[in-house]
Structure 1
Amino acid sequence: MDYQLSGIRSSNLNASQLNQSNPDRFALLRLSQTLADSSTDFSQQRIDRLNATFRHRNDTITFGRQALSWGNGLVFNPLDRINPFAPNQIDKSYKPGVDMLSGQKSLRNDDQLSWFILPKRATFNEKVTYDASSFGIKWYHFSPNSNRDFQWLLLKDEQEQLFGWQLTENSDYGLWNLDLLWSYDQTYRKNTLSALLNWQNSLSIFDRQTVLFGELFYNGYGSALTHTMADNLPSRLVDLQAAGKLFSTHRYYSAIGASAEIYPLLNINATLISNWQDKSQLLALELIYSVSDNDQWLLSWQQPFGQRGSEFMGLQSATSPNRQNNSGSVALQWQHYFSY
């Protein structure tokens, strides 16, 4: 069981855009409470983990609020439809939980079968319905002769039917991963294909342990226009962004980065995300310092580049007088781990 207390204060905060009456209004269990909601303050308390697990031989079943991640994306992750992280997420060490029934079964040949059932409430009446809910199954297979992992995924996510396929290969030149996702949306009656390819490798640079990575992402839901406005985004893309399942507005992206150990207690991470269509970019730098066994500091700086009206600089709207212009941001985070 995990408990969260969070809040924000800002002179120009529009709290209604952050949340509405109940953060868990579409979840199966109502485990959140809004404490403050005004033009300058927003705070809430939430039980983010509350589950029980049953184990018997090679079978595991968990019911309750829990976290689930599918896919092997490093920055983007099209195969993850359950509370995925945004590409510019600062801290990915903790993932918010959702109310579901999930399970795993280990097979004789070391293959693994995973599944989940995620009941959700409809937006129009806040009642649990089949159309609003999601469920999926994943089969994992490891080929020891070729050092390859294969995964097949079948999902029903609200009004979409999805099929995913994943290939991971460990070679002398690093770890390669390919994700493919095909979906059919019943509401829009449209097929969509998304794809991701990434590579990462660990090596020593100036006697410092360093991990390099690169990633290419094709977002089939994205806009095909070189320069688009917030009013002209595809309807299905807008739905997925509003649900927190997708964050990219265009189709073609890349990400490169490195993680280096300056010395055993200090690490630096650098990531450059590029939108190939509107030529905008986002540079993210992180310093992680381990103060002790239980304490860690994280200093993050993110800086967008590009023309006004591009994705990372802030899309413009033809109907709104407010002109969004994203600027650089700095964040300082302290993490303390309790010992029992």
Structure 2
Amino acid sequence: MILLLSSSKSLKAQSNLALYGYVKELSMFYKPVQAMSVSATDSLDYLFLNQIHNRINFRWYASSKLTVALEARNRIFFGQMVREFPDYEDYIEQDNGYLDLGAVLISQKTWFLHSMLDRAWIDYTSGKWQVRLGRQRVNWGTNLVWNPNDVFNTFSYFDFDYEERPGTDGIRIQYYTGVTSSAELVYKIGHNNNETAVAGMYRFLKAGYDIQFLGGWVGKDFVLGGGWSGDIKGGGFRGEATWFKPRDKNDEENFESLVASVSGDYTFRNSLYVHFATLFNSHGTTGDAGGRSFFAPDISAKMLSLGRYQLFAQSSYPFTPLFSGDIAVMLNPSDGSSFIGPSLTYSIGNNWEVMLNGQLFFGRKGTEYGDYGQAVFGRLKWAF
């Protein structure tokens, strides 16, 4: 629900101010593959973490051409994770943007409060031109799980509680060449050449498909890619691929890579939804692919997985208008490790929702999904 604040000087049907957001309580029970050491003598067989999350989204429609947006997330973390692992606060406080727009406002031994602006932009639109300056979401991906084209602000599928996804500090210029076509250029500000990005994209409609091509310089790499989005007999059909080539030939730690993903989804007449996807990473290994956290701060479109191949399947069904279920499965066929994500959602009222979610990882030690264990989440959400 959007709360509109009417101007006292105007009786227009639509206000020039908008304020909306939500409050969530997220609880996590986590059981690792093996007990976690917290001291020389103590270890934990399981872990609890709680999070109270408030989001505020603000819009000011200054004129028909000018819009200003500020969006903030305020989160209180408490539980064993905070008490036993002090580095967790430092992890949450990381801001990968050019400006550090986040801060821990209160820090105690068992809890802390973190606040962050993840959207702060000014948008000017005139005729066929649109210019947006500031921290914003640049979404170039077409798929729903893996997005090789999303070179500016890659997200992790496992970070399910961050619906808005990360933002980019920079400027985005779009020119609408036609009703179904556009060209855009994005410049991401960085502290050095390895953090800076400049890339362009052209989109157009052909034979019922939205097709896009992109190219530019992103961090340490030159990038060239493309994607599509359309349907086959009522089912969604999407794909995207990006080629990454190191800018510095003498950088021995960097590597050339081709990352591609294809997906299809369909909703049957009885409302059963199915979704299938696959990912290819030319630099990924065909052996055991363990060794990196899913929430690593350096996640990029170049390394969406450590394995060369990934398979994904999902199904969801609304048992009633208010109660729905979902299950997702991810598999690395090379090392045999897998992920299963069941979820149940119930709508208590117009603005209230409760969710039960599982993230269950299986596999041998050292495989892509074998070292994480199992986690169960419960979430209560109120939107306003």
Same fold (TM over 0.5): yes
2:298 is the counterpart of 1:243: yes
Residue matched to 1:6:
75
* RMSD (CA atoms): 2.5
Residue 193 of structure 1: aligned partner? 258
The one-letter amino acid paired with 1:243 is D
Q: 2:288 aligns with which of 223, 227, 232?
A: 227
1:19 aligns with 2:102: no
Question: What code does the residue aligned with 2:339 have?
Answer: L
Structure 1 residue corresponding to 2:361, chosen from 304, 310, 314? 304
Q: Is residue 201 of structure 2 the alignment partner of residue 130 of structure 1?
A: no
Q: CA deviation at 1:109?
A: 5.4
Task: Indicate which of 54, 63, 75 corresponds to 2:133.
Answer: 63
Answer whether contact 1:14 1:40 (CA < 8 A) is retained.
Answer: no
Take 1:9 and 1:247, find their aligned partners in 2: how far apart are those partners? 30
2:266 touches 2:274 (CA, 8 Å); kept in 1?
yes
CA–CA separation in structure 2 for the residues paired with 1:329 and 1:20 = 19
- What is the aligned partner in structure 1 of residue 213 from structure 2? 152
* Structure 1 segments (4+ residues) deviating >4 Å: 36-42
- The reply on whether 1:182 has 2:280 as its aligned counterpart is no
Q: Specify whether residues 247 and 10 from structure 1 end up closer, same or farther in structure 2 by C-alpha distance, changes over 3 A only.
A: farther
**1:163 paired residue among 224, 237, 242:** 224
Q: TM-score, normalised by structure 2?
A: 0.73
Deviation at 1:9, TM superposition (A): 3.0
Letter of the 1:135 partner, please give it.
V
The DSSP-based 3-state class of the residue aligned with 1:130 is coil
Given the superposition, is the C-alpha separation of residues 93 and 148 from structure 1 closer, same or farther in structure 2, using an over 3 Å criterion? Answer: same
Greater C-alpha radius of gyration: 2
How many angstroms does 1:183 deviate by? 1.0
Once residues 18 and 194 of structure 1 are traced to their aligned partners in structure 2, the CA distance between those partners, rounded to angstroms, is 33
Question: What is the Cα deviation at residue 10 of structure 1?
Answer: 4.0
**C-alpha displacement at 1:91, in angstroms?**
3.1
Q: 1:259 to 1:250 in 2, by over 3 A?
A: same
**Alpha-carbon spacing, 1:134–1:40, altered in 2? closer, same or farther (3 Å):** farther
Aligned to 1:264: 321
Q: Distance in 1 between matches of 2:195 and 2:167?
A: 17
Residue in structure 1 matching 2:374, options 328, 331, 334 = 328
Matches for 1:70-149 after TM superposition, within 5 Å = 70-91=140-161, 93-108=163-178, 110-120=180-190, 128-143=191-206, 146-149=207-210
User: What's the offset of the Cα at 1:21?
Assistant: 9.9
- Is 1:253 the counterpart of 2:310? The answer is yes
- Once the two structures are superposed, what CA deviation does each residue of 1:38-83 show, in whole Å capped at 9, x if it has no partner? 7754542112221111010111111112112111222222221233
Is 1:15–1:37's contact at 8 Å kept on the other side of the alignment? no
Matched residue pairs, number? 306
Contact 2:193 2:220 in 1 (8 A): no
Matched residues in 2 for 1:58 and 1:337: separation?
34
2:213 is paired with a residue whose SS is strand
The residue number in structure 2 matching 1:287 is 344
Report 1 or 2 for greater relative contact order, CA contacts < 8 Å, sequence distance ≥ 6.
2
> Quick one: distance in 2 between partners of 1:4 and 1:169?
34
Q: Distance in 2 between matches of 1:214 and 1:141?
A: 25
Q: 1:313 aligns with which of 365, 370, 373?
A: 370
8 Å Cα contact 2:222/2:244 also seen in 1: yes
Q: Deviations over 1:168-213 (max 9, x none)?
A: 3312152212211111013346421111111111112xxx312211
How far the C-alpha of 1:90 sits from its partner, in A, is: 2.0
Q: 1:262 to 1:21 in 2, by over 3 A?
A: closer
1:209 aligns with 2:271: yes
Q: CA deviation at 1:313?
A: 1.9
The residue type paired with residue 54 of structure 1 is Y
**In structure 1, what is the Cα distance between the partners aligned to 2:281 and 2:76?**
33
Q: Counterpart of 1:334 in 2: which secondary structure?
A: strand
Letter in 1 for 2:126: H
Following the alignment from structure 2 to structure 1, what is the Cα–Cα distance between the partners of residues 285 and 85? 27
Which deviates further from its counterpart, 326-335 or 87-96?
A: 87-96
CA distance 1:271–1:92, change in 2 (3 Å): farther
In 1, Cα distance between equivalents of 2:350 and 2:92:
39
How far 1:332 moved relative to its partner? 1.5
SS at match of 2:119: strand
Name the CA shift for 1:229/1:299 in 2 (closer, same or farther; >3 Å).
Answer: closer
Secondary structure of 2:192's counterpart equals: strand
Determine the C-alpha separation between the residues in 1 that align with 2:86 and 2:146: 28
**Matches of 2:71 and 2:348 in 1, distance apart?**
24
Looking at structure 2, the residues matched to 179 and 303 of structure 1 have their Cα atoms a distance apart, in angstroms, of: 28
Structure 2 residue matching 1:19: 3-state secondary structure:
helix
